[in-house]
């Protein structure tokens, strides 16, 4: 059996990640026939079918899923080797992949712009997703770091807090509570809330808040994004709980109002997370140090806001 080449592994991983020959071709600057030929050769070498097609959609077979697991490990080892050799040459370059939860993206874009300016030799990619997808990026070795809340109960992850994450209650500026001071938990419990899905960090916070005050959860509507929550709150549908970092622009344009509620803001932490067993390249070390250095300034700005 002929060995599978590194290029074939790269092609397979791209097709498996996108579940699309055309997207893999665009990513790798190859033609679709070239992609198809490489996949065919890999399957012939393995003696197993790696993909199956149904309703014009591509799916991984059991063998394909196993192949993907090892392909990602091999490609990451190659990237680690390249980074190690660059470090031996005294070079600060390479690739850095960062996965962030959607709320953190409001401040991460600005931070990354500054990081790229000071480290032009490092190529940075940013993946924005929900909490589960961000953790999966780390687990599958697709991201060097995740920016998120504390990944509780995951012993494989190393998490370092770097900045306060103040959670606030927001309302439309025309809401009757917008002019009130020291709103009590009992008053809040009579309102309708617009919340993220079950299991989300902010939802757990508001559930715990009412439980601590021996109050039932108020009526609520469920939304799948912070943007949807902000739009509904702005329209007067209900109140929301959200990170202060996610609403600065709308506060400046007076489209949302932070309520003065007893016990709020509730301050949690933002964490930079990476796998414990993952060797940090020079580029990764530079980013982690940069983020920790910038944390004090970001926290002071959030408190001033």
In a domain, 290, yes or no: yes
In a domain, 1, yes or no: no
Q: Could you please report the per-residue DSSP string of 217-243?
A: PPPEEE-SSHHHHHHHHHTTS-EEEEE
The answer to whether residues 44 and 100 belong to one domain is no
CA distances from 117 to 111, 155, 234 (A): 10, 34, 36
pLDDT of amino acid 211: 94
In a domain, 80, yes or no: no
pLDDT of amino acid 109: 83
The answer to whether residues 157 and 204 belong to one domain is no
pLDDT of amino acid 91: 56
d(CA 79, CA 87): 12
Three-state DSSP at 148 gives strand
In a domain, 114, yes or no: yes
User: Which residues have a Cβ under 8 Å from the Cβ of 170 and sit 6 or more positions away?
Assistant: 230, 233, 239, 240, 241, 242, 247, 256, 257, 258, 259
What's the domain range around 289? 88-163+269-304
Three-state DSSP at 261 gives strand
Residue 82 has pLDDT above 60, yes or no: yes
The answer to whether residues 152 and 225 belong to one domain is no
Helices (H) and strands (E) in the chain, counts: 11, 11
Range of lowest pLDDT (88-102, 107-121, 151-165)? 88-102
Model confidence, pTM = 0.67
């Amino acid at each position: 059996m002929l060995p599978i080449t590194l290029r074939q592994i790269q092609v397979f991983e791209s097709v498996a990640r996108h579940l699309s020959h055309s997207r893999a071709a665009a990513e790798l600057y190859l033609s679709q026939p070239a992609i198809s030929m490489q996949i065919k050769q890999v399957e012939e070498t393995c003696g197993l079918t790696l993909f199956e097609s149904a309703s014009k959609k591509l799916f991984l077979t059991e063998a394909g899923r196993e192949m993907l697991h090892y392909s990602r490990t091999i490609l990451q080892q190659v990237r680690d080797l390249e980074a190690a050799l660059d470090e031996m040459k005294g070079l600060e370059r390479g690739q850095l992949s960062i996965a962030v939860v959607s709320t953190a993206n409001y401040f991460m874009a600005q931070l990354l712009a500054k990081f790229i300016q000071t480290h032009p030799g490092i190529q940075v990619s940013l993946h924005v997703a929900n909490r589960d997808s961000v953790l999966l990026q780390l687990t599958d070795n697709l991201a060097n770091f995740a920016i998120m809340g504390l990944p509780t109960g995951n012993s494989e992850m190393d998490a370092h807090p770097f900045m306060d994450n103040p959670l606030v209650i927001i309302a439309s500026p025309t809401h009757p509570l917008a002019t009130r001071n020291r709103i009590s938990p009992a008053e809040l419990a009579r309102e309708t809330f617009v919340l993220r899905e079950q299991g989300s960090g902010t939802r757990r916070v508001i559930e715990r808040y009412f439980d601590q005050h021996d109050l039932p959860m108020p009526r609520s509507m469920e939304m799948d994004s912070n943007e949807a929550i902000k739009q509904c709150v702005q329209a007067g549908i209900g109140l929301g709980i959200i990170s202060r970092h996610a609403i600065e622009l709308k506060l400046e344009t007076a489209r949302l109002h932070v309520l003065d509620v007893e016990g709020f803001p509730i301050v949690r932490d933002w964490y930079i997370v990476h796998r414990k067993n993952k060797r940090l390249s020079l580029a990764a070390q530079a980013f982690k140090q940069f983020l920790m250095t910038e944390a004090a300034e970001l926290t002071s700005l959030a408190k001033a806001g």
